[in-house]
Chains A and B, each alone.
Chain A
Amino acid sequence: MKLHKARKILYPVLVAACILFSLFGSSTIIGFFLGEFGEGFEIMLATSLPGLMRTFMLVIWLFILVIPITNTLESTKTDQWDILHSSNVRSRDILFGTYLGKLPIYGLISLVLSSVLVATFVHAYNVSILGQLLMYTVIILFALTTIWMANVIATAIQARIGQSPRGDDISKALSWAMVPIMFIPSMGAIYWSSSLVALMGLELSMILPSTWIADVLTWISVTSSSLPPSSIVNIQTYWFQFSPLLNLALICMFCVAVYYFGFRSADNLYTLSSGLGAQKVITVGSENMAIRGVRRLFGAKFGVIMVTSFKDYTRKLQNVAKISYAVFLSLMIPLLLAFGPFATIVNDPIFIPVMTCLSIGMMLGIFGGIVFGGIGLLDSQDQLWILKSSPNGVSKFIAARVLSYIMLGIIIAIIPGVFAGILLQFDVATIVITVLYVYSIIISGIFIGVGITAFNPSYEDTSSGAFVVNTIATIFITMIALIVGLIPGILMAITQGVLGPALTIAAIPGPIIGLVILFAGTIKLNISEVV
């Protein structure tokens, strides 16, 4: 609230700080780090920078495109459109207004990110001030176009989904799926493009606007640099499939087309009817074996609360998307270990299993806390009302939630654990140890996340202060719980050289710390007054 009141001073200060960082800070920092690698590296950098820049530019372009879309999908609010459309406002003005609203923050993010790119060029080619200004101008114009494109895409998706409880769920699920959906094919294209060069006569990435902009930036930087003319010609000959002027023309055409079609489609965008099944009426069928088993296992009364918890959590697409995202990221870790910088020591019998356990455990522990606690516990204050108005309702509910999360956690621990074991060729005992250690950290994360959220409920409002505080607290405490367990575990591993007992010792403190927080949170939620 205080920050909101001071926004007229804070925002200009933030803008000034970003401009200063872009002009002086990033070039100093990048220059310092790149200079540390020596002259040989700098020559290699100057030669390969145009190629590297295409990849960097693609990542930055996708980032600027995806983040506004995911943020918009996080809170679909199409009911405001009815208010605007019922007034004398044109659709294109609404679209342009929402675009302008996004510029202050995403514009600054673009400026800071682009400064890293420009600083690298400045260091490699000694680009003149005029050249730097030209580069910033091109990047900012391209970023503005990309933000407009993100705005149009987000509006189209929102219109297709519409505002309904199911639409909101689909929208949130999409916001989590957006990053892998856009990044994986793009990075795959880059990875495979080198082998397609021979087949197609030019790189696949040449069809991407990010490549055109990267090449234009390279062209501006080398022509306004202190490089000798022969070097400039060499760089252009080696790297540029298209002439710089053609790249510039392509960018201009791309920008004009994006704005033109965005404005032209405004009327259609806002009148798109829901088509992603948001209005579909879902009828539940008979219960599957697993649900019937849970019902039987936990008895007639508590079994119903457990089953309700399962159904409520797993029927939400957004929860399935979040869990899939966490599992997807945890599968990346063994891949990195197998094919990344550690690949050369992949046969080490202690280092690789320990690294695998730690990295997967750390990632899933934090995800467990956020996915199960922060945004999966209570939908609204009204739900808390229902629980509080029955005897011991809160305690029964939390117990059922935690038990159902613990059961779901088994699958989340087994998939990456077994995948890592097979990929990294662990023996069966090591696979079991890995899965158990990862599972213990997931349980710690669940206890900590649920406990903290019970202490300070944030409901489904991911933009609330409570959610931010809970997320930071969950990450922080999960990390501390992990470290507290690791110290005796590592000491045992070093002194006795045994993996299993060491990881067992390391696995114990986390759930105990989590359990204390869980109990404290449940008591607080029980006695707290709902206003």
Chain B
Amino acid sequence: MNQSKLPSKKSQGIYGYHLTMELYNCRPDTVGDIRKGYSYLDELPELLKARKLSPPFIIYTDEKKYPDKAGLSGWVPITDYENRIYSGVSIHTLTPTNFISIDIYAPREFDPERIKRFTSAIFQPKLVEERYFVRGDEFPVSSP
């Protein structure tokens, strides 16, 4: 994986494009900040040229019950401008290790480097691992 150039939707029947990112050693005061997490999910769809289906949902993990898993979990459902394809963006953060895991599943092709830069500017990780791949790529050429 880790391909920067993927088949385009025009040339193949592809449902969506998926970027996974693991962010290590993020800036500590950003990892558990629910406002930052919410804003990230709220602003990202526009960069993906997608429309939000609802405002983001984001919650704290119970840090008393699960101290090694304290952090945030959030999601925003998205669709293409034609409202034909549903997908979404999710984030899971861990304050004990300043680690963040993100899944971006978009209805149209996007520039993963641009998204990585946007993400890194907010959470300031020292290291990022990513994969970029297509989803639903076995449709006939004319669809979706």
Interaction A to B: no
Chain A residues proximal to chain B, CB less than 8 Å: none
